[in-house]
Structure 1
Amino acid sequence: MNDDHNPPIPEAQIGEFQSLIDIVARLRAPGGCPWDAEQTHESLKRNLLEECYEALEAIDNETPMELAEELGDILVQVAFHADIARQAGSFDIADVLTAINRKLIRRHPHVFADGTASDARQVERNWEQLKAEERRQAGKPDPSAMDSVPVTLPALTAAQLIQDRAARFGFDWDEVDGVLDKISEEIAEFRAAKTESERADEFGDILFALVNLARWSGVHAEDALRQSNGRFRNRYRTMERLARERGLEFSAMALEDKEALWQEAKAVERSAISG
């Protein structure tokens, strides 16, 4: 039961952003939740990452209400980090909102001022120029185009962003055939590698070249691989189910019989999509 000291959030305010901030502050305050109170920026890093990936899965699954829930979980992480900083005297949620609102206005002069942008690519170029200008005004050294790619990103996503940044400044292939030739070259070098270290280096170069092909094809490499992983998992589960339904021990089946089940699983998948 709630007492007068900790009244519940009124239902009329339950959908307001400030209510989330108040709830998190109450959870972390003396007399609140012991687990919430002991969290730090460091301890919540994995939670933030996991919530982002769960939101991506909801997008891939095309489940709007699931996405709404996962976006809420991400907002909880934002609120927690802001409250941790508030208690430490670093910043609070108002500072977070002020900074992002000012940045969005500043980085979109074609909307909020007298700037122009003929297409999305021009917007991206303007964005990078404005970032560089902000760094100069702040007295920071001239940035590298690579500085805006976080080192903690998943490797495929980082590779695609690195290549995109390089391409924006004119360091790119003239046509996609050059990328395809590069992939063949890297595979040949992998075949010729003698040591484990050399094979690791060359395999990384193959992946980097494949990501470049994805970029040239308008495909996001991380999304494509995640979707392929999902298809494999679903097909594998279907293979296991088909084996059970036929009274077969999947692990004991011959490879050619498993391959037959794999083809059946693909047919089931195609039927579900078309149906």
Structure 2
Amino acid sequence: MTATVVLLTSAAAGVPPAAFPHLRGARAVYASGLGEDVTDLLGAKPAPDPAVLAAEAAEGAVVLFAASTDDPAVRVLPGAVVIGQPSGAKLVDAALVMNRLRSPGGCPWDAEQTHESLRQYLVEETYELLEAIEDGDRVAMREELGDVLLQVLFHARVAAEHVGDPFDIDTVAGELVAKLVGRHPHVFADAERIATAERQEVKWEELKQAEKQRKSIVDGVALGQPATALAGKLGQRSGRAGIPLDLFPAGQDAASRLFVLAATARRAGVDPEGELRAVAKQFAADVRAAEANARAAGVEPSTLEADGWRRYWPSGG
């Protein structure tokens, strides 16, 4: 039997991530005891007669959404893989550990930190996560995601101690939930369904504009982000607003040309920050390779001049 049972106690919580590999390989997807609306939302069909379901599971991969393992349709699939919804209990544990570290008798270093002193770590950990993603290193991704989560927990814990305007991790999470639900009315309410990611992105910006009552299309753009990413974001925002390219900086200085390149690249759907970083990382790898080639030939890299670098530069670099 190759059946998978996905326990779905709340449609609003969504499908557990672990279920997606099973859904991609399923020959049929059914739902039992979840109601017609939820069944349609899942793209499933009502579960057939238990005997029919068991016979079908015996012949190929079947996924069944159900609210409980006591459901009759689940009971005819005794060998099925059961996937429950993620509980988030470890997130609670992480918040409790952060509280303990920050409290009297905890870690002296943690107790001394402020929002300002922690800024450098937020930036560093974010870039380390980005590098792990670019390298496809899933072990590093797990660790770096945890380090970024630590920054969120740390800042929220520091914020809870503020005398004039305290807030904690529950406030942060609550506002996030409200934002996500409010900006996805087609998922959590009865708004018109959105069929494409492109349309969703446009709708998201419209909802943000109304929600925050922004007076400018560049309101909300993080001006502290890396310059290439900032230029790309401004290019994207201005493109949506119909600002023509001839209004971009027209100077011939390096900074103006870089802005135009990054902004037009983002308008064309290219991430200039990511692409530039990829080229830079390849260049760094080529430098290392040339140094290794020189050492292998008995030449100290620090003595190389232009022709020497060309001689030992890796082919295809």
Task: Name the TM tier (shorter chain).
Answer: 0.7 to 0.9
Once the two structures are overlaid, the 10-residue window that deviates more, 72-81 or 209-218, is: 209-218
Moved more, 110-119 or 83-92: 110-119
Partner of residue 54, structure 1: 128
Structure 2 residue corresponding to 1:99, chosen from 165, 171, 175: 175
| Inter-partner Cα distance in structure 2 for 1:169 and 1:162 | 11
Higher relative contact order (CA 8 A, sep 6+): 2
> Aligned Cα RMSD in Å?
2.3
Q: Unpaired segments of 5 or more residues in structure 2? A: 1-86
Q: 1:15 offset after TM fit, Å?
A: 6.8
Distance across 2 between alignment mates of 1:36 and 1:14: 24
Residues 134-164 of structure 1: CA distance to partner in whole angstroms, max 9, x if unpaired?
Answer: 234xxxxx42110111111111111111111
The CA distance in 2 between the partners of 1:215 and 1:85, in whole Å, is: 35
SS of residue paired to 2:160:
helix
Within a 5 Å distance, the mapping from 1:246-257 to structure 2 comes to 246-257=297-308
Q: Deviations over 1:66-117 (max 9, x none)?
A: 0111000000000101111112251011101100011001001121122232
2:279 is equivalent to residue 225 of structure 1: no
Question: Shift of the alpha carbon at 1:121?
Answer: 2.4
Question: Judging changes above 3 Å, is the alpha-carbon distance between structure 1 residues 50 and 236 closer, same or farther for their aligned structure 2 residues?
Answer: same
Q: Choose the corresponding residue for 1:19, options 85, 93, 105.
A: 93
1:171 to 2:243 alignment: yes
Tell me the distance in 2 between the aligned counterparts of 1:109 and 1:84.
Answer: 33
Structure 1 position 130 matched with structure 2 position 204: no
Say whether the 8 Å CA contact 2:183–2:204 is kept in structure 1. Answer: yes
Q: Identity over aligned residues, as a percent?
A: 39
Is the radius of gyration larger for structure 1 or structure 2? 2
Give the distance between the partners of 2:308 and 2:210, measured in 1 at CA: 63
Name the residue aligned to 2:259: 208
Question: Shift in Å at residue 251 of structure 1?
Answer: 2.4
Residue 152 of structure 2 is aligned to residue 78 of structure 1:
yes
Matched, 1:261 2:302: no
Note the alpha carbon deviations across 1:213-269, whole angstroms, 9 max, x for none: 32244221111111111111111111111111111122223422211211xx244x7
Q: Give the Cα–Cα distance (whole angstroms) in 1 for the partners of residues 284 and 89 of structure 2.
A: 37
Q: With the length of structure 1 as denominator, give the TM-score of the two structures.
A: 0.77
Gaps of 5+ in 1: 1-12, 137-141, 191-201, 270-275
Q: Which residue of 1 aligns with 2:30?
A: none
Distance 1:163 1:254, change over 3 A: closer
**Amino acid aligned to 1:35:** W
CA distance in 2, matches of 1:129, 1:232: 40
- 1:119 is displaced (CA, Å) by 2.1
1:243 aligns with 2:294: yes
For residues 21 and 266 of structure 1, do their structure 2 counterparts lie closer, same or farther at Cα, with a shift above 3 Å needed?
farther
Alignment of 1:118-157 (within 5 A): 118-136=195-213, 142-157=214-229
- Asked if 1 retains the 8 angstrom alpha-carbon contact of 2:183 and 2:207, the reply is yes
Report Cα offsets for 1:158-203 as digits up to 9, x if no partner.
1111111111122245xxxx89xx89xx5xx53xxxxxxxxxxx22
Q: Which has the higher strand share?
A: 2
Question: Which amino acid in structure 2 is aligned with residue 36 of structure 1?
Answer: D
* 1:16 CA displacement: 0.5
- Tell me which moved more, 164-173 or 28-37: 164-173
1:43 aligns with 2:117: yes
Equivalent pair of 1:149/1:161 in contact (CA under 8 Å): yes
Counterpart code for 2:109: W
Corresponding position: 1:158 with 2:158: no
> Deviation digits for residues 26-55 of structure 1, max 9, x if unmatched?
111111111000001111011001100000
Partner Cα separation in structure 2 for residue 113 and residue 266 of structure 1: 57
Q: Which amino acid aligns with 1:47?
A: Y
Q: Is the 8 A contact 2:294 2:301 kept in 1?
A: yes
Structure with the higher fraction of residues in helix conformation: 1
Relative distance call for 1:19 and 1:229 in structure 2 (3 A) is same
Aligned to 1:9: none
- 8 Å contact 1:235–1:266 — kept in the other structure? no
